[in-house]
């Protein structure tokens, strides 16, 4: 009897070990890699676009779940990458250049080893005012109440630079506010500010909402007259673009503005295979991104590797090389 009992317990022990091992193997096989994508405010393009990217990554990269996070955008996003608090981030190329070199807002933190995954679309510098404020051009902003973008945003960085190119000191020559695009649009409706800066894609929801408000006629200010000043001082990261008059209700003509590329970035230490997979699914399922925001129509094999101010991640490079795409 004792022998039979011993055999039983031995078999039971072995059976239990197999179950535990199998359970551990199954858990390893179903382990989910969770990624966080830093975007921007809810009124801009980064947040919905980043949400679309998160959905595509979660859907097509095996055992991976990605989520989009609301942030103050470019400057803070680079710092979140540095701190390891997010895995991917949408930023502006000028801010990325400063982060890589440890310049400007990154002097204290030092250089950050950020890398580009794809170049998704281009930002256009909006300076928006409305009829009745007396603001018809950039020079009219002197002495006015102007929002230059939320603290820690790429909008703020670029807006300050563009103002300086017109000889406007944002600390002395304007009554400065620091609001996100949605808050800026609300403030100008309530006559609390006279103009605001926003650097984003077309159309930006908050600007579109403002332009469609009954009794409001927006004025989009031309701001690319001093591009030479910007490129000489900050490097070849800026270029001229136009906001077409069909972009927002009330526009009477195309407006020339300062453009800059947007980048989807990661830390240089991101796994090569993961970087490759992310690049692949974003480009090969681009129509699903377009369904979220039409700026995604600009994410193509012909453009995704062009215009970065940073080196590309090795996983992204692997994908581009396989497709015969020359990185520029």
Q: Are residues 255 and 127 in the same domain?
A: yes
For 162-307, strand residue ranges (E) read 175-177, 195-200, 218-220, 239-243, 255-267
What residues contact 177, with CB distance under 8 A and at least 6 apart? 145, 146, 147, 148, 184, 187, 193, 196
Domain range spanning residue 133?
122-260
Q: Confidence class of residue 122 from pLDDT cuts 50, 70 and 90?
A: very high
pLDDT digits (tens, 9 = 90+) for 216-269: 999 999 999 999 999 999 988 999 999 999 999 999 999 999 999 999 999 999
In the structure encoding, which two tokens stand for residue 42, read together?
A: 């809810």
Query: Contact at 8 Å (CB) between 84 and 267?
Result: yes
Q: Are residues 216 and 91 in the same domain?
A: no
pLDDT digits (tens, 9 = 90+) for 104-118: 999 998 999 999 999
pLDDT digits (tens, 9 = 90+) for 29-61: 567 999 999 999 988 999 999 999 999 999 999
Residue 10 in any domain: the answer is: no
Q: Are residues 148 and 228 in the same domain?
A: yes
In the structure encoding, which two tokens stand for residue 148, read together?
A: 């230059």
Number of domains in the chain: 2
Residue 17 in any domain: the answer is: no
> In this structure, are strands 33-38 and 64-69 parallel, antiparallel, or unpaired?
parallel
């Amino acid at each position: 009897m004792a022998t039979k009992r011993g055999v039983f317990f031995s078999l039971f022990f072995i059976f239990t070990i197999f179950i535990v091992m199998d359970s551990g193997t199954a858990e390893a096989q179903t382990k989910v890699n969770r990624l966080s994508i830093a975007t921007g405010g809810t009124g801009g393009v980064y947040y919905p676009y980043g949400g679309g990217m998160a959905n595509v990554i979660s859907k097509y990269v095996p055992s991976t779940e990605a989520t989009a996070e609301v942030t103050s955008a470019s400057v803070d996003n680079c710092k979140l990458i540095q701190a390891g608090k997010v895995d991917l981030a949408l930023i502006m190329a000028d801010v990325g250049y400063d982060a890589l070199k440890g310049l400007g807002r990154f002097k204290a933190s030092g250089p950050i080893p950020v890398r580009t995954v794809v170049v998704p679309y281009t930002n256009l510098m909006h300076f928006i005012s409305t009829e009745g404020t007396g603001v018809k051009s950039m020079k009219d902003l002197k002495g006015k109440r102007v929002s230059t973008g939320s603290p820690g945003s790429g909008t703020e960085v670029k807006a300050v630079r563009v103002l300086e190119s017109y000889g406007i000191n944002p600390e002395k020559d304007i009554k400065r506010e620091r609001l996100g695009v949605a808050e800026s649009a609300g403030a100008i409706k309530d006559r609390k500010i006279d103009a605001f800066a926003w650097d984003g894609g077309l159309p930006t929801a908050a600007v579109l909402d403002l332009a469609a408000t009954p009794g409001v006629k927006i004025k989009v200010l031309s701001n690319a007259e001093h591009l030479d000043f910007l490129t000489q001082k900050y490097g070849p990261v800026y270029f001229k673009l136009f906001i077409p008059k069909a972009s927002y209700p009330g526009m009477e003509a195309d407006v020339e503005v300062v453009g800059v590329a947007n980048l989807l970035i990661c830390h240089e230490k991101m796994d090569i295979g993961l970087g490759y997979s992310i690049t692949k699914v974003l480009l090969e399922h681009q129509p699903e991104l377009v369904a979220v925001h039409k700026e995604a129509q600009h994410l193509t094999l012909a453009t995704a590797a062009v215009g970065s101010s940073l080196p590309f991640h090795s996983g992204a490079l692997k994908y581009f090389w396989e497709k015969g795409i020359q990185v520029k």
